[in-house]
């Protein structure tokens, strides 16, 4: 257990540092580009990325996760995954080419066709790095994975900014996606091995795909409905509105992406090694979940309070339309990320079919909210429906995931309720403080210490956790 704990902490540290550094570079680049490009151009990117993300999930088909979960993946397994992924990638790219014209016509924007065809090349590029990434995660080599990703982000972002300054417009955004994927693939080939063995095992495919098919279908539903708002905004409101939503989501995804990445890579790969001991698994999982809930509560409070200041400071007054989306998205993300963490249980104990079934239920509810929002042509109804759907999705996943490990305890729900109450109180305190003293300038400077202090005091008063004690425990783990 001690060895696993050390690997988990080291992996968490390296993954966090790697993800944060890459996200900070990406965020900085995004801010820079937002001042060079228009909301409409980002809206065009948001529309085509919907189709790219769906196609990417289809090509991966959960096979990477299946390799990570398998205790002793063979060379035949890796080869089968490589061949399968490459074939799926080519097939999906051809579908994008065929459908690009119809998509462009639907949005009455001819350039979308060319953008989609060029951006779709990322599917082919990614097919040459799936197995190497799976191997790195399986072996808990998160340091190397983080370094490769960081280098790719720096190079692609630098070239993207240069192209934007040179007048390439939305094409600079497409270039960033392709170059990042290409550089990352080349680095993996150079340092982790150039894997191109064209061998396919039917038995291996059946075993791995039986695990991946359910997570794939669930991921498609999840990605589709999570990003479908970009398509709806672009069609029924405006391409610029899509740009506001896309930028707000990009900002909100910075902290959420780090936490979700940790749960699906470090936490998943580490807990997978405890799949034969449910008692040990439950103990470690509950502690990890507690940490995540606390982090999410603080992050959500911070983003909600400072959404306006963040948007105006980073993007300028031209992007004020993104404030509304950012506030509500961070509330929805609070529950969505916890739902993703719960799904680690289904994946570890190979009950991924339940993920798919639960996703059907959630998306049925979400579809109703979307239809109502479109009928009334109301942005408020549309996004509030998104938040409510995520709350319901979390509660459903919580119940059924705990049944898998035979422990449907309400302790986590009590903790969650305390964190929600604490976050609401902290937000109210900070907002009232700002209004009471009519703070305009240096709003961050005066209120951030208040927000942090209130949150930490609340954690102790509600007996959620003793931050000082837990921090000492982490530091006591020797390298």
DSSP string covering 18-55: HHHHHHHHHHHHHHHHHTTS-HHHHHHHHHHHHHHHHH
Mean pLDDT for 334-356 is: 83
Most confident of the ranges 33-47, 174-188, 348-362, 463-477: 174-188
Portion of the chain with pLDDT greater than 70, in percent: 87
For the ranges 32-46, 221-235, 372-386, which has the lowest average pLDDT?
221-235
> In terms of pLDDT, which residue wins out, 259 or 242?
242
Q: Please give the C-alpha separations between residue 65 and each of 86, 92, 137, 261, 478, in angstroms, as whole numbers.
A: 16, 20, 9, 13, 30
Mean pLDDT for 77-87 is: 86
Structure-block tokens of residue 55: 């196609």
pLDDT in tens, 459-473: 988 888 776 666 666
The dihedral sign for the CA sequence 325, 327, 330, 332: negative
Mean pLDDT of the chain: 83
Query: How confident is the model at residue 391, as a pLDDT?
Result: 92
Distance CA 182, CA 187 (A): 9
Query: How confident is the model at residue 356, as a pLDDT?
Result: 78
pLDDT in tens, 83-140: 888 998 999 999 999 999 999 998 888 899 999 999 999 999 998 988 888 888 777 6
Distance CA 17, CA 25 (A): 12
Query: How confident is the model at residue 271, as a pLDDT?
Result: 74
Query: How confident is the model at residue 338, as a pLDDT?
Result: 86
């Amino acid at each position: 257990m001690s060895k696993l704990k050390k690997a988990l902490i080291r992996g968490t540290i390296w993954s966090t540092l790697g993800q944060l550094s890459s996200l900070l570079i990406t965020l900085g680049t995004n801010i820079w580009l937002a001042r060079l490009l228009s909301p409409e151009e980002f809206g065009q990117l948001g529309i085509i990325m919907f189709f790219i993300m769906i196609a990417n999930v289809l090509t991966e088909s959960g096979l990477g996760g299946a390799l990570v979960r398998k205790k002793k993946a063979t060379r035949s397994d890796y080869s089968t995954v490589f061949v399968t992924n490459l074939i799926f990638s080519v097939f999906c790219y051809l579908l994008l080419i065929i459908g690009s014209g119809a998509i462009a016509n639907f949005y009455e924007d001819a350039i979308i066709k060319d953008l989609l065809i060029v951006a779709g090349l990322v599917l082919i590029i990614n097919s040459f790095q799936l197995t190497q990434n799976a191997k790195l995660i399986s072996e808990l080599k998160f340091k190397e994975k983080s370094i490769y990703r960081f280098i790719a982000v720096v190079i692609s972002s630098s070239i993207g900014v240069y192209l934007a300054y040179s007048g390439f417009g939305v094409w600079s955004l497409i270039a960033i996606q392709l170059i990042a994927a290409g550089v990352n693939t080349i680095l993996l080939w150079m340092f982790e091995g150039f894997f191109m063995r064209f061998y396919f095992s039917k038995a291996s495919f059946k075993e791995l795909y039986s695990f991946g098919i359910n997570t794939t279908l669930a991921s498609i539903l999840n990605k589709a409905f999570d990003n479908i708002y970009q398509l709806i905004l672009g069609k029924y409101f405006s391409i610029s509105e899509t740009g506001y939503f896309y930028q707000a989501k990009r900002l909100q995804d910075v902290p959420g992406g780090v936490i979700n990445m940790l749960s699906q890579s470090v936490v998943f790969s580490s807990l997978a090694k405890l799949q034969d001991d449910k008692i040990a698994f439950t103990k470690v999982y509950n502690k990890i979940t507690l940490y995540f809930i606390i982090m999410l509560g603080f992050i959500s409070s911070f983003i909600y309070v400072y959404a306006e200041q963040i948007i105006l400071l980073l993007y300028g007054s031209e992007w004020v339309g993104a404030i509304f989306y950012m506030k509500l998205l961070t509330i929805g993300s609070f529950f969505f990320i916890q739902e993703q963490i719960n799904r680690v249980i289904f994946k570890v104990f190979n009950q991924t079919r339940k993920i798919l079934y639960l996703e059907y239920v959630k998306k049925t509810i979400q579809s109703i909210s979307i239809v109502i929002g479109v009928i009334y042509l109301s942005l408020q109804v549309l996004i509030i429906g998104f938040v409510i759907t995520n709350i319901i999705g979390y509660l459903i996943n919580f119940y059924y995931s705990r049944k898998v490990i035979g422990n449907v305890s309400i302790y986590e729900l009590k903790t969650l309720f305390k964190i929600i109450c604490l976050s609401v109180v902290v937000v109210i305190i900070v907002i009232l403080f700002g209004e009471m003293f009519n703070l305009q300038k240096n709003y961050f400077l005066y209120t951030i210490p208040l927000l942090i202090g209130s949150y930490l005091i609340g954690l102790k008063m509600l007996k959620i956790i003793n931050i000082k004690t837990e921090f000492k425990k982490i530091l006591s783990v020797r390298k």
